[in-house]
């Protein structure tokens, strides 16, 4: 005869077994949910990578507007991509979505350098030699006038550099610089000539950030001279001014653009941005503009008062990116780029006019120019370099060039990851 207590033991064992079985079922269910979520996440990340590669390798102009499509005719492979021209570079946005799950990334991208066109120096041929003095160093391939390069004695300084003058292969230059990209120049012309609608007052908040997945936030100060101060501005923001725009050292810019007649960057400013003007850009001493930044003075029509377009950098400025000038009319008064003492430029200079390098100016990258100036207290010397350094070998192999420049290659790569989720 079975004891009554045995029934309790059976019931307890059955409950334990039931709990274990239900736990296994719940664990399997949760594991399946997590597996499906991880599978969707991996698939969305793969789709983001595919969308990114499409933007980097496509020349389809329709991507300037957001375009949604399926990668493999599957609901799980839907992506939305867009290419936004952003100054001398481009911005790409990619969104991948499946059911309620969405991933997105935004990034800037630019061109690799075409090694067959790359050079530390390109000085056009005006039937006169190129002269070096002091501790001037030019390292890398160079395109110089047929009259060649020679040593010079100026300001009680004899040439003390390498006896080869140019540490690299020398080529004969042409009478004009290789041209800038016309499509990109037309984009700039539209910015300067079209009526740009936007807010006339800047937010009083201490920061302004706008995603590249949202519409561009435009500020147009029109004919009011404006000083930007005590604010952090980042992302998809463009500033316009019909007169002078001053950027104080208390302002911090990150990846934004500014267009004005004249731009002044006050001493001590730190940031990364693209600044474009029709008359002048002045960067005062001790400023630091990080990669990828750009300074560009562009003239698409003759000014009311004829004066020299200019980009000037004060003492101890550190700049990373591209500095260029462009004059559509090819005026007799050529645009000027001035680098003061101890200025270090990492990147590229392209000048349709004149580049003036002063004592201990250093360019880690390349200079394409029509003419050099050296100016002391008494005299202006043309096509002279004194105590300056141009070193293309010092530029990072990962440096990417704007498609605006003639040395850019066809291949594009990601320049900077901006946003992701």
Backbone angles phi, psi at 345, to 5 degrees: -115, 120
In the sheet where 408-420 sits, what is the strand order? 67-70, 78-86, 89-98, 101-113, 408-420
125 band by pLDDT with thresholds 50, 70 and 90: very high
Backbone angles phi, psi at 7, to 5 degrees: -65, -40
- Give the model's pLDDT for residue 46: 85
Q: What is the mean pLDDT of the chain?
A: 90
* Of 77 and 261, the one with more pLDDT: 261
Which residues, at least 6 apart from 343, have a Cβ–Cβ distance to it below 8 Å? 313, 314, 315, 316, 317, 318, 319, 358, 361, 362
Check whether 2 has a pLDDT greater than 60: no
Percentage of the residues of the chain whose pLDDT score is greater than 90: 66
Show me where the domains of the chain are located: 5-111, 121-405
Least trusted range by pLDDT, from 21-25, 49-53, 87-91, 331-335: 21-25
202 band by pLDDT with thresholds 50, 70 and 90: confident
Check whether 334 has a pLDDT greater than 70: yes
Q: What is the mean pLDDT of residues 58-77?
A: 78
SS3 109: strand
Give the integer Cα–Cα distance in Å for 344 and 417. 26
- Give the model's pLDDT for residue 36: 64
pTM over 0.85? The answer is yes
**What are the residues facing 272 on neighbouring strands?**
254
- Give the model's pLDDT for residue 261: 94
345 band by pLDDT with thresholds 50, 70 and 90: very high
- Give the model's pLDDT for residue 12: 80
Q: What is the mean pLDDT of residues 221-233?
A: 93
* Structure token pair of residue 330: 């090819």
Give the integer Cα–Cα distance in Å for 7 and 34. 40
Top-confidence range, 146-160, 213-227, 259-273, 294-308: 259-273
Check whether 1 has a pLDDT greater than 70: no
155 band by pLDDT with thresholds 50, 70 and 90: confident
Give the integer Cα–Cα distance in Å for 421 and 269. 31
- Give the model's pLDDT for residue 76: 66
């Amino acid at each position: 005869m079975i004891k009554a207590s045995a029934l309790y033991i059976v019931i307890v064992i059955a409950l334990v077994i039931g709990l274990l079985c239900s736990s296994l079922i719940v664990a399997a269910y949760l594991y399946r949910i997590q597996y499906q979520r991880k599978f969707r996440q991996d698939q969305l990340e793969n789709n983001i990578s595919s969308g990114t590669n499409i933007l980097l390798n496509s020349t389809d102009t329709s991507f300037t507007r957001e375009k949604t499509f399926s990668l493999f005719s599957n609901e799980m492979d839907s992506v939305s991509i867009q290419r936004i021209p952003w100054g001398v570079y481009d911005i790409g946005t990619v969104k991948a979505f499946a059911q309620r799950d969405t991933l997105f990334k935004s990034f800037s991208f630019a061109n690799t350098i075409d090694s067959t066109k790359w050079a530390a120096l390109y000085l056009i041929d005006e039937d006169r030699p190129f002269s070096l003095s002091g501790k001037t160093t030019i390292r890398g391939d160079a395109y110089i006038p047929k009259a060649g390069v020679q040593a010079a004695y100026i300001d009680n300084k004899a040439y003390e550099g390498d006896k080869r003058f140019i540490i690299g292969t020398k080529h004969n230059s042409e009478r004009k610089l290789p041209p800038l990209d016309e499509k990109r120049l037309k984009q700039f012309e539209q910015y300067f000539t079209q009526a740009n609608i936007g807010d006339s007052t800047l937010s009083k908040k201490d920061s302004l950030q706008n995603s590249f997945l949202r519409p561009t936030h435009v500020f147009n100060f029109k004919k009011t001279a404006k000083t930007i101060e005590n604010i952090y501005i980042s992302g998809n923001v463009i500033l316009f001014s019909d007169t002078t725009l001053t950027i104080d050292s208390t302002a911090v810019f990150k990846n934004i653009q500014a267009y004005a007649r004249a731009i002044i960057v006050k001493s001590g400013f730190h940031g990364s941005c693209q600044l474009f003007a029709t008359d002048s850009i002045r960067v005062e001493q001790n400023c630091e503009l990080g990669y990828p930044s750009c300074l560009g003075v562009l003239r698409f029509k003759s000014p009311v008062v004829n004066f020299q377009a200019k980009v000037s950098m004060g003492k101890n400025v550190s700049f990373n990116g591209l500095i260029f000038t462009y004059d559509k009319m090819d005026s007799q008064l050529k645009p000027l780029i001035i680098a003061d003492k101890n200025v270090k430029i990492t990147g590229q200079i392209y000048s349709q006019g004149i580049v003036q390098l002063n004592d201990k100016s250093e360019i880690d990258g390349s200079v394409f120019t029509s003419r050099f100036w050296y100016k002391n207290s008494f005299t202006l010397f043309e096509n002279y370099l004194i105590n300056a350094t141009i070193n293309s070998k010092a530029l990072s192999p990962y440096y990417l060039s704007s498609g605006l420049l003639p040395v850019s290659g066809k291949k594009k790569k990601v320049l900077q990851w901006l946003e992701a989720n």
